[in-house]
Structure 1
Amino acid sequence: MAAGSGSRYGKLKQFDDLGPAGEFLMEFAMYDAIKNDFDHIVVITKKENVDFLKDHLSGRLPQNIKLDVLAQEKTDLPDGVTFNGERKKPWGTAHAVWTARSVINGPFAVINADDFYGQSAYANAAKFMQKHPNDNTYALLGYTLKDTLSEYGSVSRGVCMVEGDDLTSVEERLELEQQDDSVIDHHSGNKYSGNEQVSMNFWVCKPSIFDKIESEFRIFLKDEDRIANSELYLPITIQEMLQAGEASVKLVPSGGEWFGVTYASDKEKAMKNLKDKTEQNQYISPLWP
Protein backbone atom coordinates (compact mmCIF):
# COMPACT_ATOMS: atom_id res chain seq x y z
CA MET A 1 0.00 0.00 0.00
CA ALA A 2 1.67 3.19 -1.22
CA ALA A 3 -1.17 5.69 -1.52
CA GLY A 4 -0.55 7.71 1.64
CA SER A 5 0.17 11.43 1.64
CA GLY A 6 3.05 11.49 4.15
CA SER A 7 1.55 14.39 6.10
CA ARG A 8 3.76 13.91 9.17
CA TYR A 9 6.83 13.10 7.07
CA GLY A 10 6.53 16.23 4.96
CA LYS A 11 6.50 14.59 1.52
CA LEU A 12 5.79 11.29 -0.24
CA LYS A 13 8.03 9.08 1.87
CA GLN A 14 7.21 6.03 -0.24
CA PHE A 15 9.44 7.46 -2.98
CA ASP A 16 12.30 8.73 -0.84
CA ASP A 17 15.77 7.39 -1.69
CA LEU A 18 16.69 5.57 1.51
CA GLY A 19 18.78 2.64 0.28
CA PRO A 20 22.56 2.80 -0.27
CA ALA A 21 21.99 2.93 -4.05
CA GLY A 22 18.96 5.20 -3.84
CA GLU A 23 16.32 2.49 -3.47
CA PHE A 24 12.89 3.17 -2.03
CA LEU A 25 12.08 1.42 1.24
CA MET A 26 9.37 -0.61 -0.53
CA GLU A 27 12.03 -2.10 -2.81
CA PHE A 28 13.60 -3.84 0.18
CA ALA A 29 10.18 -5.33 0.97
CA MET A 30 9.91 -6.58 -2.61
CA TYR A 31 13.42 -8.03 -2.45
CA ASP A 32 12.64 -9.86 0.80
CA ALA A 33 9.33 -11.16 -0.55
CA ILE A 34 10.87 -12.43 -3.80
CA LYS A 35 13.63 -14.13 -1.80
CA ASN A 36 10.86 -16.08 -0.06
CA ASP A 37 9.14 -17.19 -3.28
CA PHE A 38 6.52 -14.48 -3.67
CA ASP A 39 6.08 -14.03 -7.41
CA HIS A 40 3.47 -11.27 -7.82
CA ILE A 41 3.88 -7.67 -6.64
CA VAL A 42 0.79 -5.43 -6.50
CA VAL A 43 1.37 -1.77 -5.65
CA ILE A 44 -1.61 0.40 -4.70
CA THR A 45 -0.85 4.08 -5.15
CA LYS A 46 -2.32 7.41 -6.21
CA LYS A 47 -3.37 7.80 -9.84
CA GLU A 48 -0.69 10.40 -10.53
CA ASN A 49 2.05 7.97 -9.41
CA VAL A 50 1.03 4.90 -11.43
CA ASP A 51 3.07 5.52 -14.58
CA PHE A 52 6.15 6.60 -12.61
CA LEU A 53 6.10 3.46 -10.45
CA LYS A 54 5.46 1.15 -13.40
CA ASP A 55 8.48 2.56 -15.20
CA HIS A 56 10.64 2.57 -12.08
CA LEU A 57 9.86 -0.98 -10.94
CA SER A 58 9.44 -2.81 -14.24
CA GLY A 59 13.03 -1.99 -15.14
CA ARG A 60 14.30 -3.34 -11.82
CA LEU A 61 12.31 -6.40 -10.78
CA PRO A 62 13.30 -9.84 -12.12
CA GLN A 63 11.50 -10.75 -15.32
CA ASN A 64 9.71 -13.73 -13.75
CA ILE A 65 7.93 -11.45 -11.23
CA LYS A 66 4.47 -10.25 -12.20
CA LEU A 67 3.92 -6.55 -11.45
CA ASP A 68 0.64 -4.66 -11.17
CA VAL A 69 0.56 -0.97 -10.21
CA LEU A 70 -3.00 0.13 -9.49
CA ALA A 71 -4.55 3.47 -8.62
CA GLN A 72 -6.71 3.81 -5.53
CA GLU A 73 -9.43 6.17 -6.70
CA LYS A 74 -12.40 7.66 -4.89
CA THR A 75 -14.53 6.84 -7.95
CA ASP A 76 -13.91 3.09 -7.50
CA LEU A 77 -17.22 2.13 -5.89
CA PRO A 78 -19.34 -1.05 -5.64
CA ASP A 79 -21.66 -1.73 -8.57
CA GLY A 80 -24.84 0.32 -8.40
CA VAL A 81 -23.42 2.80 -5.85
CA THR A 82 -22.85 6.47 -6.59
CA PHE A 83 -21.16 9.18 -4.56
CA ASN A 84 -21.55 12.82 -5.52
CA GLY A 85 -20.12 14.46 -2.41
CA GLU A 86 -16.68 15.87 -1.72
CA ARG A 87 -13.88 13.97 -0.04
CA LYS A 88 -10.16 14.78 0.00
CA LYS A 89 -8.83 11.60 1.64
CA PRO A 90 -8.81 8.15 0.02
CA TRP A 91 -11.43 5.72 1.35
CA GLY A 92 -8.89 3.96 3.58
CA THR A 93 -6.67 0.87 3.78
CA ALA A 94 -9.48 -1.66 3.30
CA HIS A 95 -10.48 0.14 0.11
CA ALA A 96 -6.82 0.10 -0.98
CA VAL A 97 -6.81 -3.69 -0.68
CA TRP A 98 -10.18 -3.91 -2.47
CA THR A 99 -8.56 -2.06 -5.38
CA ALA A 100 -6.60 -5.26 -6.11
CA ARG A 101 -9.65 -7.55 -6.30
CA SER A 102 -9.36 -8.12 -10.05
CA VAL A 103 -5.68 -9.16 -10.04
CA ILE A 104 -5.50 -11.43 -6.95
CA ASN A 105 -7.12 -14.87 -6.72
CA GLY A 106 -5.16 -16.62 -3.97
CA PRO A 107 -3.59 -16.00 -0.54
CA PHE A 108 -1.67 -12.74 -0.36
CA ALA A 109 0.26 -10.54 2.04
CA VAL A 110 -0.54 -6.89 2.73
CA ILE A 111 2.12 -4.42 3.87
CA ASN A 112 2.73 -0.68 4.11
CA ALA A 113 5.21 0.72 1.59
CA ASP A 114 6.84 2.95 4.21
CA ASP A 115 7.69 0.18 6.69
CA PHE A 116 10.62 -2.23 6.91
CA TYR A 117 9.43 -5.57 8.26
CA GLY A 118 12.57 -7.74 8.24
CA GLN A 119 13.43 -10.76 6.11
CA SER A 120 12.15 -13.29 8.63
CA ALA A 121 8.65 -11.79 8.49
CA TYR A 122 8.33 -12.68 4.80
CA ALA A 123 9.73 -16.16 5.46
CA ASN A 124 7.16 -16.71 8.22
CA ALA A 125 4.35 -15.32 6.09
CA ALA A 126 5.30 -17.63 3.23
CA LYS A 127 5.34 -20.66 5.56
CA PHE A 128 1.90 -19.72 6.86
CA MET A 129 0.51 -19.38 3.34
CA GLN A 130 1.91 -22.78 2.40
CA LYS A 131 0.33 -24.32 5.51
CA HIS A 132 -3.06 -22.63 4.93
CA PRO A 133 -3.45 -22.41 1.14
CA ASN A 134 -7.20 -22.89 0.81
CA ASP A 135 -8.92 -22.38 4.17
CA ASN A 136 -10.25 -19.10 5.56
CA THR A 137 -7.44 -18.64 8.07
CA TYR A 138 -5.79 -15.25 8.03
CA ALA A 139 -2.62 -14.15 9.82
CA LEU A 140 -1.18 -11.05 11.44
CA LEU A 141 2.59 -10.76 11.73
CA GLY A 142 3.29 -9.48 15.25
CA TYR A 143 6.04 -7.19 16.54
CA THR A 144 7.13 -6.27 20.07
CA LEU A 145 5.67 -2.90 21.07
CA LYS A 146 8.85 -1.40 22.56
CA ASP A 147 10.70 -2.14 19.31
CA THR A 148 8.26 -0.15 17.18
CA LEU A 149 8.36 3.26 18.89
CA SER A 150 9.83 6.45 17.48
CA GLU A 151 12.36 8.68 19.22
CA TYR A 152 10.73 11.73 17.66
CA GLY A 153 7.11 11.60 18.77
CA SER A 154 4.15 9.43 19.70
CA VAL A 155 2.90 6.70 17.37
CA SER A 156 -0.33 4.80 16.87
CA ARG A 157 -0.23 1.01 17.16
CA GLY A 158 -2.72 -1.83 17.29
CA VAL A 159 -2.11 -3.80 20.50
CA CYS A 160 -2.90 -7.50 19.97
CA MET A 161 -5.14 -9.53 22.26
CA VAL A 162 -4.51 -13.27 21.89
CA GLU A 163 -5.56 -16.68 23.19
CA GLY A 164 -2.73 -19.05 22.43
CA ASP A 165 -1.82 -18.18 18.85
CA ASP A 166 -5.36 -17.05 17.99
CA LEU A 167 -5.84 -13.32 17.59
CA THR A 168 -9.01 -12.22 19.38
CA SER A 169 -8.84 -8.47 18.78
CA VAL A 170 -6.57 -5.53 17.99
CA GLU A 171 -7.00 -2.47 20.20
CA GLU A 172 -5.95 0.74 18.45
CA ARG A 173 -3.85 3.03 20.66
CA LEU A 174 -3.27 6.46 19.17
CA GLU A 175 -0.48 8.19 21.14
CA LEU A 176 2.03 5.63 22.37
CA GLU A 177 5.34 6.87 23.70
CA GLN A 178 8.16 5.46 25.84
CA GLN A 179 8.10 6.85 29.37
CA ASP A 180 10.79 5.56 31.73
CA ASP A 181 10.37 1.75 31.88
CA SER A 182 6.90 1.59 30.37
CA VAL A 183 4.93 2.74 27.35
CA ILE A 184 2.10 5.24 27.82
CA ASP A 185 -0.81 5.86 25.51
CA HIS A 186 -1.48 9.56 26.11
CA HIS A 187 -4.87 9.32 24.43
CA SER A 188 -6.39 6.61 26.67
CA GLY A 189 -4.05 6.77 29.66
CA ASN A 190 -3.26 3.05 29.33
CA LYS A 191 0.17 1.86 30.38
CA TYR A 192 2.03 -1.07 28.78
CA SER A 193 5.17 -3.01 29.63
CA GLY A 194 6.42 -2.71 26.07
CA ASN A 195 6.58 -6.49 25.57
CA GLU A 196 3.09 -6.69 24.07
CA GLN A 197 2.67 -7.82 20.47
CA VAL A 198 1.43 -5.11 18.13
CA SER A 199 0.21 -4.93 14.56
CA MET A 200 2.33 -3.08 12.02
CA ASN A 201 -0.23 -3.81 9.30
CA PHE A 202 1.47 -6.91 7.88
CA TRP A 203 -1.45 -9.24 7.15
CA VAL A 204 -1.89 -12.50 5.30
CA CYS A 205 -5.34 -12.44 3.70
CA LYS A 206 -7.50 -14.65 1.53
CA PRO A 207 -9.68 -13.59 -1.42
CA SER A 208 -12.76 -13.76 0.84
CA ILE A 209 -11.65 -10.35 2.14
CA PHE A 210 -12.78 -8.67 -1.09
CA ASP A 211 -16.48 -9.55 -0.66
CA LYS A 212 -16.33 -8.49 3.00
CA ILE A 213 -14.76 -5.13 2.16
CA GLU A 214 -17.38 -4.49 -0.50
CA SER A 215 -20.27 -5.23 1.86
CA GLU A 216 -18.72 -3.00 4.54
CA PHE A 217 -18.06 -0.29 1.97
CA ARG A 218 -21.72 -0.27 0.96
CA ILE A 219 -22.69 0.27 4.61
CA PHE A 220 -20.00 2.93 5.02
CA LEU A 221 -21.28 4.91 2.03
CA LYS A 222 -24.75 5.19 3.57
CA ASP A 223 -23.39 6.95 6.67
CA GLU A 224 -22.78 10.67 6.03
CA ASP A 225 -20.83 11.09 9.27
CA ARG A 226 -18.41 8.27 8.39
CA ILE A 227 -18.01 9.63 4.87
CA ALA A 228 -17.04 13.01 6.29
CA ASN A 229 -14.82 11.92 9.16
CA SER A 230 -13.65 8.33 8.82
CA GLU A 231 -12.05 5.71 6.60
CA LEU A 232 -12.59 2.03 5.86
CA TYR A 233 -9.78 0.40 7.84
CA LEU A 234 -8.41 -3.05 6.97
CA PRO A 235 -7.79 -4.13 10.61
CA ILE A 236 -11.39 -3.28 11.56
CA THR A 237 -12.74 -5.17 8.56
CA ILE A 238 -10.71 -8.26 9.50
CA GLN A 239 -11.85 -7.98 13.12
CA GLU A 240 -15.46 -7.89 11.96
CA MET A 241 -14.85 -11.08 9.98
CA LEU A 242 -13.26 -12.62 13.07
CA GLN A 243 -16.14 -11.66 15.35
CA ALA A 244 -18.73 -12.88 12.84
CA GLY A 245 -17.00 -16.26 12.55
CA GLU A 246 -16.25 -15.61 8.87
CA ALA A 247 -12.51 -16.12 9.34
CA SER A 248 -9.96 -17.07 11.97
CA VAL A 249 -6.75 -15.11 12.47
CA LYS A 250 -3.45 -16.45 13.79
CA LEU A 251 -0.85 -14.21 15.38
CA VAL A 252 2.44 -15.16 13.75
CA PRO A 253 5.56 -13.69 15.38
CA SER A 254 7.55 -11.81 12.76
CA GLY A 255 10.86 -13.02 14.13
CA GLY A 256 12.56 -9.80 13.11
CA GLU A 257 12.86 -6.10 13.57
CA TRP A 258 10.65 -3.32 12.26
CA PHE A 259 11.42 0.27 11.45
CA GLY A 260 9.54 2.95 9.61
CA VAL A 261 9.64 6.56 8.55
CA THR A 262 6.71 8.18 10.31
CA TYR A 263 8.56 11.45 10.89
CA ALA A 264 11.17 13.20 8.75
CA SER A 265 13.63 12.70 11.61
CA ASP A 266 13.28 8.91 11.16
CA LYS A 267 14.92 9.12 7.72
CA GLU A 268 18.54 9.25 8.89
CA LYS A 269 18.06 6.23 11.16
CA ALA A 270 16.34 4.26 8.39
CA MET A 271 19.15 5.03 5.95
CA LYS A 272 21.76 3.91 8.50
CA ASN A 273 19.85 0.68 9.16
CA LEU A 274 19.69 -0.15 5.45
CA LYS A 275 23.37 0.71 4.98
CA ASP A 276 24.37 -1.47 7.94
CA LYS A 277 22.31 -4.42 6.68
CA THR A 278 23.87 -4.08 3.24
CA GLU A 279 27.38 -4.03 4.74
CA GLN A 280 26.42 -7.15 6.73
CA ASN A 281 25.60 -8.84 3.39
CA GLN A 282 21.87 -9.13 4.12
CA TYR A 283 21.34 -7.17 0.89
CA ILE A 284 23.33 -6.55 -2.25
CA SER A 285 23.91 -3.05 -3.58
CA PRO A 286 22.33 -2.10 -5.82
CA LEU A 287 19.38 -4.38 -5.01
CA TRP A 288 18.66 -4.98 -8.70
CA PRO A 289 21.96 -5.46 -10.57
Structure 2
Amino acid sequence: MKPTLLILAAGMASRYGSMKQIDGFGPNGETIIDYSIYDAIKAGFGKVVFIIKEEFADNFKSIFDEKLKGKIEVDYVYQNFDLKQFGIDEEIYREKPWGTAHAILSGRKTIKEPFCVINADDFYGFDAFKKMADFLTSEINDSNYSIIGYKIGKTLSDFGSVSRGVCKADEAGNLTEIVERTKVYKKGDSIVYEEDGKEFPLEFDTPVSMNFWGFTPAVFNITEELFKTFAMENKDKPKAEFFIPLIGEHLVSTQKASFKVVPTDNQWFGVTYKEDKPLVQACIDELIKNGNYPEKLWN
Protein backbone atom coordinates (compact mmCIF):
# COMPACT_ATOMS: atom_id res chain seq x y z
CA MET A 1 0.00 0.00 0.00
CA LYS A 2 1.46 3.34 -1.04
CA PRO A 3 1.65 6.05 1.65
CA THR A 4 -0.43 9.23 1.64
CA LEU A 5 0.71 12.84 1.66
CA LEU A 6 -1.39 15.08 3.94
CA ILE A 7 -0.92 18.79 3.19
CA LEU A 8 -1.76 21.45 5.78
CA ALA A 9 -3.25 24.24 3.70
CA ALA A 10 -6.09 25.62 5.82
CA GLY A 11 -4.27 28.57 7.39
CA MET A 12 -4.29 32.08 6.07
CA ALA A 13 -0.88 33.74 6.05
CA SER A 14 -0.96 36.74 8.37
CA ARG A 15 2.72 37.68 8.01
CA TYR A 16 2.91 36.95 4.30
CA GLY A 17 -0.20 38.98 3.54
CA SER A 18 -1.96 36.72 1.03
CA MET A 19 -2.88 33.13 0.25
CA LYS A 20 0.69 31.93 -0.28
CA GLN A 21 -0.55 28.33 -0.50
CA ILE A 22 -1.72 28.97 -4.07
CA ASP A 23 0.74 31.70 -5.07
CA GLY A 24 2.94 30.96 -8.09
CA PHE A 25 6.72 30.54 -7.68
CA GLY A 26 7.78 28.37 -10.62
CA PRO A 27 8.43 29.67 -14.18
CA ASN A 28 4.93 28.59 -15.27
CA GLY A 29 3.12 29.68 -12.11
CA GLU A 30 3.80 26.46 -10.18
CA THR A 31 3.01 26.67 -6.47
CA ILE A 32 5.26 25.32 -3.76
CA ILE A 33 2.61 22.63 -3.27
CA ASP A 34 3.14 21.58 -6.91
CA TYR A 35 6.80 20.85 -6.24
CA SER A 36 5.97 18.93 -3.05
CA ILE A 37 3.44 16.76 -4.88
CA TYR A 38 5.84 16.25 -7.81
CA ASP A 39 8.52 15.03 -5.39
CA ALA A 40 5.99 12.87 -3.51
CA ILE A 41 4.85 11.12 -6.69
CA LYS A 42 8.45 10.51 -7.70
CA ALA A 43 9.20 9.15 -4.20
CA GLY A 44 6.31 6.66 -4.33
CA PHE A 45 3.31 8.26 -2.63
CA GLY A 46 -0.09 7.11 -3.90
CA LYS A 47 -2.50 9.77 -2.64
CA VAL A 48 -2.51 13.43 -1.67
CA VAL A 49 -5.06 14.85 0.78
CA PHE A 50 -5.45 18.61 1.16
CA ILE A 51 -6.60 20.04 4.49
CA ILE A 52 -8.30 23.32 3.60
CA LYS A 53 -11.06 25.66 4.65
CA GLU A 54 -14.24 24.70 2.85
CA GLU A 55 -14.62 28.16 1.31
CA PHE A 56 -11.30 27.68 -0.52
CA ALA A 57 -12.32 24.34 -2.06
CA ASP A 58 -13.16 25.73 -5.51
CA ASN A 59 -9.83 27.60 -5.67
CA PHE A 60 -7.81 24.51 -4.81
CA LYS A 61 -9.74 22.18 -7.10
CA SER A 62 -9.41 24.57 -10.04
CA ILE A 63 -5.64 24.64 -9.52
CA PHE A 64 -4.88 21.00 -8.77
CA ASP A 65 -7.56 18.60 -10.02
CA GLU A 66 -6.83 18.72 -13.74
CA LYS A 67 -3.03 18.79 -13.52
CA LEU A 68 -2.92 15.83 -11.09
CA LYS A 69 -5.51 13.71 -12.92
CA GLY A 70 -4.06 10.28 -13.65
CA LYS A 71 -0.86 11.05 -11.70
CA ILE A 72 -1.98 10.61 -8.09
CA GLU A 73 -5.25 10.17 -6.20
CA VAL A 74 -6.51 13.48 -4.78
CA ASP A 75 -8.88 14.19 -1.91
CA TYR A 76 -9.93 17.22 0.15
CA VAL A 77 -10.90 17.48 3.81
CA TYR A 78 -12.04 20.56 5.67
CA GLN A 79 -10.80 21.99 8.96
CA ASN A 80 -13.58 23.67 10.90
CA PHE A 81 -14.48 24.89 14.37
CA ASP A 82 -17.18 22.29 15.08
CA LEU A 83 -16.36 20.71 18.44
CA LYS A 84 -19.44 18.50 18.62
CA GLN A 85 -17.73 16.01 16.30
CA PHE A 86 -15.33 15.37 19.20
CA GLY A 87 -18.06 15.08 21.80
CA ILE A 88 -17.59 18.63 23.12
CA ASP A 89 -20.94 20.39 23.53
CA GLU A 90 -19.57 23.57 25.09
CA GLU A 91 -19.28 26.65 22.87
CA ILE A 92 -15.69 27.91 22.91
CA TYR A 93 -14.81 31.27 21.36
CA ARG A 94 -11.80 31.23 19.03
CA GLU A 95 -9.80 34.03 17.40
CA LYS A 96 -7.94 31.61 15.12
CA PRO A 97 -8.02 27.89 14.19
CA TRP A 98 -7.01 25.33 16.80
CA GLY A 99 -3.64 24.57 15.18
CA THR A 100 -1.82 21.96 13.13
CA ALA A 101 -2.53 18.95 15.35
CA HIS A 102 -6.24 19.76 15.26
CA ALA A 103 -5.98 20.12 11.48
CA ILE A 104 -4.72 16.58 10.92
CA LEU A 105 -7.82 15.24 12.67
CA SER A 106 -9.71 16.37 9.57
CA GLY A 107 -8.16 13.44 7.74
CA ARG A 108 -9.13 10.73 10.22
CA LYS A 109 -12.07 9.41 8.18
CA THR A 110 -10.21 9.56 4.87
CA ILE A 111 -6.73 8.18 5.58
CA LYS A 112 -6.40 4.43 6.21
CA GLU A 113 -2.70 3.96 5.34
CA PRO A 114 0.64 5.26 6.66
CA PHE A 115 0.90 8.97 5.91
CA CYS A 116 3.06 12.03 6.37
CA VAL A 117 2.10 15.60 7.17
CA ILE A 118 3.69 18.67 5.56
CA ASN A 119 3.06 22.41 5.40
CA ALA A 120 1.67 23.80 2.17
CA ASP A 121 4.09 26.71 2.04
CA ASP A 122 7.39 24.88 2.71
CA PHE A 123 9.75 23.63 0.00
CA TYR A 124 11.20 20.39 1.38
CA GLY A 125 13.17 18.85 -1.51
CA PHE A 126 13.10 15.38 -3.04
CA ASP A 127 15.55 13.75 -0.60
CA ALA A 128 13.17 14.36 2.29
CA PHE A 129 10.18 12.87 0.44
CA LYS A 130 12.18 9.83 -0.65
CA LYS A 131 13.43 9.16 2.88
CA MET A 132 9.94 9.59 4.31
CA ALA A 133 8.38 7.32 1.67
CA ASP A 134 10.97 4.64 2.42
CA PHE A 135 10.26 4.89 6.15
CA LEU A 136 6.49 4.77 5.65
CA THR A 137 6.73 1.65 3.50
CA SER A 138 9.38 -0.33 5.39
CA GLU A 139 9.85 0.79 9.00
CA ILE A 140 6.72 2.43 10.33
CA ASN A 141 4.32 0.82 12.80
CA ASP A 142 1.88 2.08 15.42
CA SER A 143 4.69 2.62 17.94
CA ASN A 144 7.43 3.76 15.56
CA TYR A 145 6.89 7.08 13.81
CA SER A 146 9.26 9.53 12.14
CA ILE A 147 10.16 13.16 11.68
CA ILE A 148 12.43 14.70 9.04
CA GLY A 149 15.27 16.63 10.68
CA TYR A 150 16.64 19.64 8.81
CA LYS A 151 19.85 21.47 9.67
CA ILE A 152 18.70 24.72 11.22
CA GLY A 153 21.27 26.68 9.20
CA LYS A 154 19.46 25.57 6.04
CA THR A 155 16.02 26.77 7.19
CA LEU A 156 16.32 30.47 8.04
CA SER A 157 14.92 33.62 6.44
CA ASP A 158 17.03 36.66 5.61
CA PHE A 159 14.11 38.95 6.47
CA GLY A 160 13.23 38.25 10.08
CA SER A 161 13.06 35.75 12.89
CA VAL A 162 11.35 32.36 12.58
CA SER A 163 9.99 29.69 14.91
CA ARG A 164 11.74 26.32 14.86
CA GLY A 165 11.17 23.08 16.74
CA VAL A 166 14.67 22.21 17.94
CA CYS A 167 15.11 18.42 18.16
CA LYS A 168 17.27 16.28 20.41
CA ALA A 169 17.81 12.61 19.64
CA ASP A 170 19.41 9.66 21.43
CA GLU A 171 22.25 7.50 20.08
CA ALA A 172 19.74 5.41 18.11
CA GLY A 173 18.47 8.54 16.35
CA ASN A 174 15.13 8.60 18.17
CA LEU A 175 13.59 11.88 19.28
CA THR A 176 14.00 12.60 22.99
CA GLU A 177 12.87 16.22 23.04
CA ILE A 178 11.49 18.90 20.77
CA VAL A 179 11.51 22.50 22.00
CA GLU A 180 9.81 25.30 20.11
CA ARG A 181 12.11 28.30 19.80
CA THR A 182 9.86 31.13 18.71
CA LYS A 183 12.52 33.69 17.74
CA VAL A 184 15.45 32.23 15.78
CA TYR A 185 17.55 34.38 13.48
CA LYS A 186 20.92 34.96 11.88
CA LYS A 187 23.34 37.26 13.65
CA GLY A 188 26.38 37.85 11.50
CA ASP A 189 27.87 34.42 10.84
CA SER A 190 26.09 32.93 13.84
CA ILE A 191 22.62 31.58 14.57
CA VAL A 192 20.87 32.53 17.81
CA TYR A 193 17.50 32.19 19.46
CA GLU A 194 16.04 34.75 21.81
CA GLU A 195 14.31 33.94 25.07
CA ASP A 196 13.39 36.33 27.90
CA GLY A 197 15.38 39.08 26.20
CA LYS A 198 18.60 37.04 26.06
CA GLU A 199 20.34 35.44 23.08
CA PHE A 200 21.54 31.84 23.00
CA PRO A 201 23.66 30.25 20.24
CA LEU A 202 22.62 27.36 17.99
CA GLU A 203 24.96 25.24 15.86
CA PHE A 204 24.39 25.28 12.09
CA ASP A 205 23.78 21.50 12.03
CA THR A 206 21.23 21.50 14.90
CA PRO A 207 18.30 19.31 13.72
CA VAL A 208 14.93 21.05 13.61
CA SER A 209 11.42 20.06 12.69
CA MET A 210 9.83 21.72 9.67
CA ASN A 211 6.52 19.96 10.33
CA PHE A 212 7.33 16.90 8.20
CA TRP A 213 5.98 14.00 10.29
CA GLY A 214 5.29 10.34 9.51
CA PHE A 215 2.40 8.49 11.19
CA THR A 216 0.02 5.55 10.96
CA PRO A 217 -3.76 6.10 11.30
CA ALA A 218 -3.45 4.97 14.94
CA VAL A 219 -2.34 8.53 15.71
CA PHE A 220 -5.84 9.89 15.04
CA ASN A 221 -7.47 8.37 18.15
CA ILE A 222 -4.56 9.50 20.32
CA THR A 223 -4.71 13.01 18.86
CA GLU A 224 -8.47 13.26 19.33
CA GLU A 225 -8.18 12.45 23.04
CA LEU A 226 -5.34 14.93 23.47
CA PHE A 227 -7.30 17.60 21.62
CA LYS A 228 -10.41 17.20 23.79
CA THR A 229 -8.27 17.72 26.89
CA PHE A 230 -6.44 20.64 25.29
CA ALA A 231 -9.67 22.35 24.21
CA MET A 232 -11.18 22.22 27.68
CA GLU A 233 -7.95 23.32 29.40
CA ASN A 234 -7.60 26.27 27.01
CA LYS A 235 -11.23 27.32 26.57
CA ASP A 236 -10.41 30.73 28.08
CA LYS A 237 -7.35 31.21 25.85
CA PRO A 238 -8.72 32.09 22.38
CA LYS A 239 -5.24 32.16 20.81
CA ALA A 240 -3.94 28.86 22.23
CA GLU A 241 -2.96 26.41 19.49
CA PHE A 242 -2.76 22.63 19.47
CA PHE A 243 0.45 21.91 17.53
CA ILE A 244 1.71 18.59 16.13
CA PRO A 245 4.83 18.64 18.37
CA LEU A 246 2.46 18.27 21.33
CA ILE A 247 1.53 14.86 19.93
CA GLY A 248 5.19 13.98 19.64
CA GLU A 249 5.96 15.16 23.16
CA HIS A 250 3.07 13.12 24.57
CA LEU A 251 3.99 9.91 22.75
CA VAL A 252 7.69 10.19 23.60
CA SER A 253 7.15 11.13 27.26
CA THR A 254 4.64 8.31 27.81
CA GLN A 255 6.78 5.88 25.75
CA LYS A 256 3.77 4.99 23.63
CA ALA A 257 5.76 5.60 20.46
CA SER A 258 9.20 6.58 19.27
CA PHE A 259 10.05 9.04 16.51
CA LYS A 260 13.04 8.38 14.32
CA VAL A 261 14.70 11.66 13.40
CA VAL A 262 15.46 11.12 9.71
CA PRO A 263 18.20 13.58 8.67
CA THR A 264 18.28 15.39 5.35
CA ASP A 265 20.85 17.73 3.85
CA ASN A 266 18.19 19.39 1.70
CA GLN A 267 18.03 23.16 1.70
CA TRP A 268 14.61 24.08 3.06
CA PHE A 269 13.09 27.31 1.88
CA GLY A 270 9.74 28.95 2.37
CA VAL A 271 7.81 32.18 2.32
CA THR A 272 7.48 33.30 5.91
CA TYR A 273 7.70 36.91 4.72
CA LYS A 274 6.62 38.57 1.47
CA GLU A 275 10.25 39.51 0.84
CA ASP A 276 11.16 35.80 0.72
CA LYS A 277 9.37 35.29 -2.61
CA PRO A 278 12.15 36.43 -5.00
CA LEU A 279 14.65 34.22 -3.17
CA VAL A 280 12.35 31.20 -3.43
CA GLN A 281 11.87 31.85 -7.13
CA ALA A 282 15.65 32.09 -7.60
CA CYS A 283 16.18 28.81 -5.71
CA ILE A 284 13.62 27.03 -7.87
CA ASP A 285 15.21 28.45 -11.03
CA GLU A 286 18.56 27.08 -9.88
CA LEU A 287 17.10 23.63 -9.20
CA ILE A 288 15.59 23.62 -12.70
CA LYS A 289 18.91 24.70 -14.17
CA ASN A 290 20.62 21.81 -12.34
CA GLY A 291 18.12 19.30 -13.69
CA ASN A 292 16.23 18.58 -10.47
CA TYR A 293 12.92 19.63 -12.03
CA PRO A 294 11.65 20.18 -15.56
CA GLU A 295 10.96 23.80 -16.50
CA LYS A 296 7.30 22.92 -16.96
CA LEU A 297 6.44 20.71 -14.01
CA TRP A 298 3.22 19.16 -15.35
CA ASN A 299 2.69 18.09 -18.92
Q: Does the TM-score normalized on the shorter chain lie above 0.5?
A: yes
SS at 2:261 equivalent? strand
Deviation at 1:237, TM superposition (A): 1.3
Deviation at 1:136, TM superposition (A): 2.1
1:181-203 per-position Cα deviation (integer Å, ceiling 9, x unaligned): 32111235322122211111111
1:53-84 per-position Cα deviation (integer Å, ceiling 9, x unaligned): 12321100141521111111111544431242
1:44 — aligned with what?
A: 51
Residues 76-225 of structure 1 mapped to structure 2, 5 A cutoff: 77-164=84-171, 165-188=173-196, 189-225=199-235
Distance 1:90 1:79 in 2: 15
Distance 1:29 1:126 in 2: 13
Distance 1:77 1:204 in 2: 28
Is 1:3 aligned to 2:10, yes or no?
yes
Which amino acid in the other structure matches residue 28 of structure 1? Y
Which amino acid in the other structure matches residue 178 of structure 1? K
Deviation at 1:254, TM superposition (A): 2.0
SS at 1:265 equivalent? helix
2:5 — aligned with what?
A: none
1:30 — aligned with what?
A: 37
1:74 — aligned with what?
A: 81
Distance 2:235 2:200 in 1: 28
Q: Are the counterparts in 2 of residues 121 and 256 from structure 1 also a CA contact under 8 Å? A: yes
Is 1:57 aligned to 2:67, yes or no?
no
Q: Unmatched 5+ residue regions in structure 1?
A: none
TM-score scaled by length of structure 1: 0.95
Q: Are the counterparts in 1 of residues 86 and 224 from structure 2 also a CA contact under 8 Å? A: no
Is 1:273 aligned to 2:280, yes or no?
no
Which amino acid in the other structure matches residue 183 of structure 2? E
Deviation at 1:273, TM superposition (A): 1.0
Identify if the C-alpha distance between structure 1 residues 77 and 181 changes in structure 2 by more than 3 Å, giving closer, same or farther. farther
SS at 1:229 equivalent? coil
Identify if the C-alpha distance between structure 1 residues 166 and 285 changes in structure 2 by more than 3 Å, giving closer, same or farther. same
Q: Are the counterparts in 2 of residues 166 and 251 from structure 1 also a CA contact under 8 Å? A: yes
Q: Are the counterparts in 2 of residues 138 and 204 from structure 1 also a CA contact under 8 Å? A: yes
1:114-173 per-position Cα deviation (integer Å, ceiling 9, x unaligned): 000011001111111122244421111011111111110011101111112111011110
Deviation at 1:236, TM superposition (A): 1.1
Distance 2:237 2:75 in 1: 28
Distance 1:232 1:116 in 2: 23
Q: Unmatched 5+ residue regions in structure 2?
A: 1-7
Distance 1:92 1:56 in 2: 25
Q: Are the counterparts in 2 of residues 143 and 200 from structure 1 also a CA contact under 8 Å? A: yes
Which amino acid in the other structure matches residue 191 of structure 2? V
SS at 2:154 equivalent? helix
Q: Are the counterparts in 2 of residues 45 and 72 from structure 1 also a CA contact under 8 Å? A: yes
1:282 — aligned with what?
A: 292
Identify if the C-alpha distance between structure 1 residues 258 and 88 changes in structure 2 by more than 3 Å, giving closer, same or farther. same
